[in-house]
Structures are given as structure tokens and as C-alpha cells.
Structure 1
Amino acid sequence: MKAIGFKTSLPIEKQDSFIEFETPKPIPGANDLLVKINAISVNPVDFKIRQNSAVDTILDTPKIIGWDAVGIVEGIGKNVSLFKVGDEVFYAGDITKQGSNAEYQIIDERIVGKKPKSVTDEEAAVMPLTSLTAWEILFDRIRINQEKDKGKIILIIGGAGGVGSIATQLAKKIAGLTVIATASRPETIAWCKEQGADYVVNHKNLIAEVRELGFQYVDFILDFVDTNAYWDIMVELIKPQGHIASITGSSNPIVLNKLKNKSASFSWELMYTRSMFQTDDMQEQHVILNKIADLLDNQTIKSTLNETFTGLTAANLKKAHQLLESGKTIGKIAIKF
């Protein structure tokens, strides 16, 4: 089968930052599906792994990355019970295994959902990773209750990005929250409003702009940009007994003690935790993805696709990574095979 990968971590403009190669079609294990992939999307995790996983070394076998895919089940392992050959599926993959930048992939059925019927392959391909991340941060980490928390205020830092776009929709449409999203350019402000944000504020003057809206504090804060850069701002804006959650990691220690007087909570979210550690509730991602498919099919939420390239090629992956690395992408990018 054809695959795209890399043997060493290079700047994206270098010729061999991605290479095309042939490799045997993988064989599914007991709980795996063999999926013929029709479309993928790219995410910031892709370029971060490409930049850091083969520094100053040359791998014997090219590393295949990519963690969003839509395809058709072509084979199943002996213990598979959730899907059958011929089913259309979508998923965000497992960061410990080979990725989706290939014609075929094996994937544990417990982290796979049914593809939504009402959208194209590329519209579906951009949804799994960001939807799982947004769903988990809202409902598993912060544990927002749709009845108890309806109408409360949530601040989403990075509203126009892939995760921010779907988090805005879920916070508004499912949780019933009042959403404040951050954006600074006319096109990103417009995008955030299209996703359902009640208010859009400039991240460069965040405290003042939130308070100009009439909110001294907010109940919840989601950080999708930079925990360190926004830490003191989040500490100031979070309501006493509120909850902050982040997906971005931290290059320097976070001073959690700053939350003490407010008795505020902080959580990390990593969508890959369940598959990395084979948690007891790993199959919850199958359940969440099926919910996302239903929400797309009944038009409660919409795909965050904003750009599509056609063809599984190194050139297309390079273009997609260059756009992501610029930090100026809006919504999501898909590659249709």
C-alpha cells in the first residue's frame, strides 16, 4: 500500500520532510478493524510529532503520522463486535501506533465511530480528534451538567482553531452555555460567530474586553493556545470555585497555588489518554463519536471543514503542515484520497 511518512525530523520546506513509500497492508489484531481510508485531516499534533520524534536521527522505517480518518471497514479481528466489513467509520486513532497518512490502517474498534451519513468524507474526516477533545474537556474533565450549568459563562481561548470551533458549538448547542471566544482578525471573528459564539473578544486585551462585556468573572475557561502565556489572565478571570482546563501542555511549571484563594480547579485534557493507557472506559470514545455523528446528521452541529486538498501525496501533506505551522488556520483542513 502507499503511505506518506518521514525518516528524520526536518523543516517542512525540506524535500524529505515527507516521503512517499510502499509498505505491506497491515493485518488487524483481535480487536482491530482494517480500514481503507478515503479522507484524513491534519491537526497541530501532527506537525509537533513530525518536528520532534526523529531529531538528529534517521529511522530505519518511515514513521507514518496522522490522527483523523474516514474510511470503509475491509477486515475485522476475531473479537470485533461493534462493526462489520463494509461499514463506513471515522476515528482519531491511537498516538502510540502508525497513523492515517496511508491507504490502509488498523484501528481498535473501541475508539471508532460510525461515519455520519449526511456529510461528505472530508467533512467527516475533520471531526473526530477535535470533537473527542472538546467533548472530553467539557463533559469528562470539567463535568459540565446540561441542567445545572445551563446559562453559565465559558471563555474559549482560541475560538477559531479546530478544537475551539467545535468546542464553541458543543458548549452552546449541547451544554447551553453563554460562550465568549477569542479571535483578533476579521475573518476569525466572523468564523467564531458562525460557530455560535455569543461574544468574541481580542486575546491581546482579554481581561479588559471580557469585563467591558459586563462579566467580572467567568465560570469556565478552556485554553487551546498556550497555558503559560495565559495563566495569570485565566487566574484573574476565573470565578471563585470555577474550573480551568487546557490541552496545550506547559513548557514551564504552572503556579497552581494562584488558584487557592478562589478554590478553583484545573484539569489537563489529552484525547489519547484512553487509548495510550487502555483505560477501563476506553470504549467511551466509540460512544462519543457515535453521538457526534448523530449531532451532525440531525444538524445540531456542523463540520468545521474549511479547506480541502485532493490526493494522498507528500506535497499535499507539506502544504497542510505549512498552513498549520503558520498558526493562522481557521477551522480544519482535510485531504481527500
Structure 2
Amino acid sequence: MKAVAHTVIRDIDDPRYLEDLTLEPPTLGAHDLRVRVEAVAVNPIDLKVHGRRPASAEAPVILGFDAAGVVESVGAAVARFGVGDPVFYAGSVARSGCNAELHCVDERLVGPKPTTLDFADSAALALTGLTAWELLFDLMALDDDAHSPAGPVLVLGGAGGVASMAVQLLAAFTDRTVIATASQPDSAEHARALGAHHVIDYRQDYRDQLAAAGIDDVAAIFSTHTTAFAWENFARVIRPFGRIGFIDDPAPLDVSLLKARSVALYGEGMFNRSVFATDDMIRQHEILTRIARGIDGGRLNATTGQHFGTINAANLRAAHRHVAAGHARGKAVLSGFG
């Protein structure tokens, strides 16, 4: 099968950063679907794995986690999908990636592809959708008014991939006021189009800007970029017994700032269910199914940004560089192996 992998860890500016290879197809496990990959999306985790996972000519590392494709074969224990089913998923960081013509993934991590989207737009949804849903609803329980504090939610990075999904999910599945952050007019307009009621500049004082919008404080904060400046502002605008969730890997934070208001802190790791093989792995199948229904029902929209062409080493390196620049709006996607 065709695959894109690395055999040596190289700088992203090196043309040999990724290589086009021909490899043996993956072995099917009992709970696995073997998927013929039609499209993939690139995430920051791809770059992190490239920089830390040793590789060699004998053991090349295939990156990629977001994928959409068609089930080619199924394992003996598979009960939810059959050959020919179109699917989308984010897979597991502990297994070989999806930048290959054939990829094996546990069916409990897979959802039915939205019928109203093509494969590229579907591939862009899984990791961001799962990350946003798990933090908002599974951890902070912001869709459960009986078990979470009422009030507005602040979403940092309102135009980014995960934040774009967070804004949409809050707008579609809750009645909460949503405040997004942005620094540029086009990013602010994008966040409003996704469902944000207000947009503030993340570089300026949060409390002053919220007050100007008639908002005293927020019940929850969804953070994609937990900087020292942001953290100080969080402590000033979060209400007593509020909730703060983060998806990034921040520098050490002074959590004592939260104690005076009894604020709960949550860290989201989308791959934790698959890496630790938790008893509720099936939850990701359930979430992706809900997201697909939300797309097909017109409640959610695709978050695709730029399409980088067919799946090959040169195009994937270009997509990685785009993501590494840190200013991408929406997801970088590629489709087909040419």
C-alpha cells in the first residue's frame, strides 16, 4: 500500500521530512475496521509525534489521526459496521497513523460519516469535534444544567479548529451565552458566524471587555491557549464554583488563584480513552455519531480550512508547515493518493 511516513526525524524545512513509501497493509485486530482512507486532516499532534517518536528504515512511522474512508474489512468482534460503510474517526495516538491507503482502527472510536459532507470535510471533524465535546460535555457537563453552573461560557481562540467546534456545540446543544476570543476582524466575524454572541480581544483585559458587553463574569472557560496572561484573566472573570478546561500543554500555572472561588480545573486529552483502553471507549463512537447527525441536520458546520491536494509527502509537509505557523483557520485537509 502507499503510505507517507518518516524514517528519520528531520526538520520540517527539510524536503525529506516525510517520505513516500510502499508498505505492507496493516494487520486486522478483533475489534478493528480496516479502512480504505479517502481523506485525512492534519493536527498539531502530528508535528509533536514526528518530533518525539523514533523511526528507522526498518520501522517507519506513519503519522496522521483524522481520517475518513470506506470500511474494506472487519475484525471478528466488530458489531457496528460492515464492509462498504463510509466512516470518520480520529483513531489512537498509540497506533500507526492514517496517512496510508489502508488503516486499522478500533470500531469503538469510529463514527458513521456525515451523509451531507464529502470525505475531506468529514476528516476535518473528528479530532476537533471529540476534543470539544469531551471537554464541554463529558468533563465540564455544560449541557447538564442540573450539574453545572449556569451562565456564559468563554471560548479562547474562537476561529481555531477545536474552538470553532466548541462554539458550534455550545450554540447547538445549550442555551448559554457564548463569548469567543479573536484579535482580527475576520476571525471575530468567523466566530460570530459559528454562533458566538460576543467576541473579545484575547490580548486585552478580559474583565473590561466583558463588562462593556454587559457581562459580569463567566460560568466556564474553554481554553486552547493557556498563557500566563490568559490565566491571570481567567482568575478575574470566572465566577464562584465555575469551571475551567484546557486542551493545550501550558507552562506551570498558579492554581492557588482558583481556590478563593472554588473553581474546578479540567484537562482534556482526546486520546486518553484509546491509549488507556478505558471501559467507555465506545463513548467516542457515540459522540461522533451525534456530531454526524448534527452536521446532517444542519445544526453544525464543517470546519475545513485549506485543502492541500492529494496525500503525498510533499503536500503533507506543506500542510504541517501551515499548521506549525499557528495561524490556521479551520483544518488542513488532503484527499486521495493519486
Q: What range is the shorter-chain TM-score in?
A: over 0.9
Match of 2:100 in 1: 102
Equivalence for 1:90: 88
Q: Secondary structure at the match of 2:240?
A: strand
Distance 2:145 2:265 in 1: 22
Q: How many angstroms does 1:332 deviate by? A: 1.2
Partner of 1:169: 168
Residue 254 of structure 1: how far off its partner (Å): 2.1
Q: Contact 1:227–1:246 at 8 Å: present in 2 too? A: no
Q: Which residue of 1 aligns with 2:128?
A: 130
Partners of 2:8 and 2:226 in 1: CA distance = 27
Match of 1:116 in 2: 114
Q: Greater shift after overlay, 217-226 or 4-13?
A: 4-13
When structure 1 is superposed on structure 2, of 17-26 and 302-311 the one drifting more is: 302-311
Tell me, in whole angstroms, the C-alpha distance in 2 between the residues paired with 1:284 and 1:59: 37
Counterpart contact for 1:26–1:106, Cα < 8 Å: yes
**Could you tell me which residue of structure 2 aligns to residue 50 of structure 1?**
50
Structure 2 counterpart of 1:96, one-letter code: A
Task: Check the 8 A contact 1:150/1:175 in 2, yes or no.
Answer: no
Structure 2 stretches lacking a partner, 5+ long: none
- Would the aligned equivalents of 1:151 and 1:178 in 2 still touch at CA under 8 Å? no
Q: Distance in 1 between matches of 2:205 and 2:28?
A: 49
Which runs of 5 or more structure 1 residues have no equivalent in the other structure? none
Q: Which runs of 4+ in 1 moved over 6 A?
A: none
Q: CA deviation at 1:329?
A: 0.4
Number of the residue aligned with 1:67: 65
Q: Deviation at 1:146?
A: 4.6
| Structure 1 counterpart SS, 2:216 | coil
Partner of 1:9: 9
Listed one character per residue, the Cα deviations across residues 19-65 of structure 1 (whole Å, up to 9, x for unaligned) are 111110112111101000000101111112223334xx756422111
Matched, 1:297 2:296: yes
CA distance in structure 1 between the partners assigned to 2:214 and 2:120 by the alignment: 40
- 2:325: which partner in 1? 326
Partner of 1:270: 269
Q: Cα–Cα, structure 1 residues 283 and 197, in superposed 2: closer, same or farther, change >3 Å?
A: same
Separation (CA, whole Å) in 1 of partners of 2:98 and 2:199? 34
Q: Partner residue of 2:309? A: 310
CA distance in 1, matches of 2:299, 2:271: 26
1:139-218 pair list within 5 angstroms: 139-148=137-146, 152-207=151-206, 208-218=208-218
Q: Quick one: which amino acid aligns to residue 237 of structure 2?
A: L
CA distance 1:151–1:176, shift in 2 (3 Å) = farther
Identity among equivalent positions (%) equals: 36
Deviation at 1:6, TM superposition (A): 1.1
Q: Supply the RMSD in Å over aligned alpha carbons.
A: 1.6
Q: CA deviation at 1:189?
A: 1.3
Shift of 1:229: 4.6
- TM-score, normalising length: structure 1: 0.95
1:78 corresponds to 2:76: yes
Could you tell me how far apart the structure 1 residues matched to 2:312 and 2:109 are? 26
